[in-house]
Chains A and B, each alone.
Chain A
Amino acid sequence: MTTALEGGSSHLGYLEETSTRDAQRKLLRVAWLQHRGGCLALLVVFVAFVFAIVVERSRVDASYAAFVAGGCVGRQLVPGTCNTAALALGGQSTFTTIGIALSALPLLVGVFVGAPLVSREIESGTFRFAWTQATSRSRLVLATLGALAGGATVMAVVLGLVFGGWYAHVYDVVLTPLDSPWQATPFVTTWWLLPAWTVSALVLGAFLGTLIRRTVAAMAATAALVGGLIVAAHVVLPELLHVGASTARFKSEVGNMVLGTINSPPQPGWHVPPGSWLVRSWMTGPGGRVLDRSASVHVENALSTRTAASGDHWLAAHHVSFWVSYQPPGHFWMFQGVEGVVVLAVAALCVMATVCLLKRRAIA
């Protein structure tokens, strides 16, 4: 809005008087002008991901037609035509590659967008211009951070949906444990966790940039810290999955199962709900006593030479039970929610720390 100043200031000509409502829009415009290069680079990455996923999904759709034509739907997959078709349908290798690349998206955003956000301003000296205008430096940085976080969120949500949709398509249709949403890569690339990690990496990078004040050093620190956190989350998740796990008693399927930590999807026909995630298994003997390793191996050996029916009979006769703890599919979004909230809480702390640093720390 442009208005003429009244009274004594009229000789100043026309000054722009900005309302509070306009101020936000103007800050977004500044953010765009300052960071459009980075935004466009992110857009290219986004389009490349979408293109790769869409192309691969088309290939999967074609394979699915062959799968259906071969009469494989609903049949248990054993080595042969249907199994080969199912594997082709799964597009396992491409899925894994794209998934891993996608899980690195937060790292890219944190390193190349977040870390230079403030550090480049300090290093190039432009902070002496930007932070001496009539807009507080924390407000300016927050507006920029908010705009970038908004864009990154939209991008990550879309990628998570497109990628997750592909995954769901394969998993639901083929009904085989080709992959599971509980596995590390699909788990962190959902429409919820991917944007949570991306935004968190962005603000963590911005915080480190404000703290370190050197662009390259901040980028390196962000890469190390965000990368470390992602790896740590991968390592910690299986441990957390013990929390709230359900238990099921198995019969002779024990012959196909690993004792101890499992961390894998169930096979068709096992007595857990489809979409569950097996966490741990153990055996109990008479009186409910947990069998030690050697006793368990003895049971496994005994079952390996028996059919399913005789195996069940043998287990009953020796009062041996086989137990599995698992996370039912209903718990999936609970764990997603918990991890997402923790990651976003870290992001919120980083934002607060960045604002504190900007307000309190002498820059020049």
Chain B
Amino acid sequence: MNVLETFGLGVRYGQTWAVSDCTLAIPEGRIVALAGSNGAGKTTLLHCAVGLTEATCGTVGLLGDLPAGSLDALERIAFVAQDAPLYRHLSVNEMVEVAANLNRRFDRPFASARLRALDIPVKRRVGKLSGGQQAQLALTLALARHPHLLMLDEPLARLDPVARHDVMALVMTMAAEEGVSVVFSSHVVSELERVADYLVLMAQGRLQLVGPIEDILAEHTVLNGPADEAERVGEHLCVVHAEKAARRVQLLVRHDRPIETPIGWEVDAPSLDELVLAYLRDPSLVGRSGPVAVAATAAGELAQ
């Protein structure tokens, strides 16, 4: 079962397409890094998935074939929005009560235990909590619903390094123990690299890379060699990014099958960070479209 599927999804605000021609299918049980630069369309895609934004064209399905925003879907997913918007005038306890009353299934003991563990004062008003505590509270309320799919929009932005680590660890634990599928959105890839096993990369509202991180990395190679041979070597390869330094050049290439190493060149495996940065530098690149293979299209666009 796919936890999130889109087909030809497009969202337009006025004359601007925030998301366009977005087709993807994320299998269940994955921890997905939804990455992209600011304004890439990550939040719009998530909002579409939870029914906060209406698609201008295309379709969005959740957990099989549940329509986005439907009550059936909302009962099985949890969403933590960017900046963790909560009712600032309520106390933490009251905020938990609101969440419990708005959901048919809510694990109060879990929420209480986690808030106690985080040392969040339950009688304090939400507005008086630090940004990190508010983010932790929002995440706690989402996790207490024990969702099948957890969607987090920039969840780590307001957390200190220790809290980031703890949140990641908790989400990993929930994913491992309960089989929760998780979609993280962030423009900081390094913080997702440790936990994610699936990548959705967006730029300017379009998908650039979709698929298991392991596969994506396997399809890319870094070639180091003399700068004056770059053009000759690159002629027969899909070069995603080239970086020259003095008389050496580093080519990031994409390939469907193992490549033959040119004489005098060194081969290296790219890090996820390197790979994502290379794609983000050129939003027109489309490398991999996930389960629905469109390699020909991708290769064609790479050749451009």
Contacts and interface: CB of A to CB of B under 8 A. Distances in A.
Given A29-B101, A124-B88, A130-B102, 11 more contacts: A2-B108, A13-B107, A14-B109, A16-B108, A30-B102, A33-B98, A125-B83, A125-B85, A129-B86, A131-B52, A134-B105
Nearest to A135: B102
A364 B69 CA distance: 13
19 contacts: A9-B146, A12-B107, A12-B110, A13-B110, A15-B106, A15-B146, A16-B105, A16-B108, A18-B105, A26-B102, A27-B102, A33-B97, A128-B47, A129-B138, A131-B51, A131-B52, A133-B99, A134-B145, A361-B54
A129 B142 CA distance: 10
A26 B101 contact: yes
Contacts of A37: 89
A11 interface: yes
A132 B178 contact: no
Contact of A134 (B44, B102, B110, B178): B102
A362 B54 contact: yes
A32 to B, nearest CB: 10
Contacts of A23: 104
A11 B177 contact: yes
> Which range contains the number of A residues in contact with the other chain?
35 or more
A214 B108 CA distance: 34
Nearest to B103: A134
Given A33-B94, A126-B86, A134 B52 contact: no
Contacts of B278: none
B87 interface: yes
A135 B85 contact: no
B102 A133 contact: yes
Interface in A100-156: 124-136, 140
Contacts of B54: 360-362
Interface residues of B, number: 43
Nearest to A23: B104
Given A133-B99, A361-B54, A17 B87 contact: no
Contacts of B177: 11
B101 A127 contact: no
Nearest to B76: A134
A133 B85 contact: no
Interface in B31-46: 43-44
A129 B85 contact: yes
A129 B107 CA distance: 17
Contacts of B94: 33
Query: 7 tightest CB-CB pairs across the interface, nearest first?
Result: A26-B101, A128-B81, A133-B102, A362-B54, A125-B85, A134-B75, A364-B52
A136 B71 contact: yes
Interface string B92-125: 0010011111111111111000000000000000
A11 B104 CA distance: 18
A216 to B, nearest CB: 18
A363 interface: yes
Interface in B57-101: 71, 74-75, 77-79, 81, 83, 85-90, 94, 97-101
A14 B281 CA distance: 48
A34 interface: yes
B52 A17 contact: no
B74 A33 contact: no
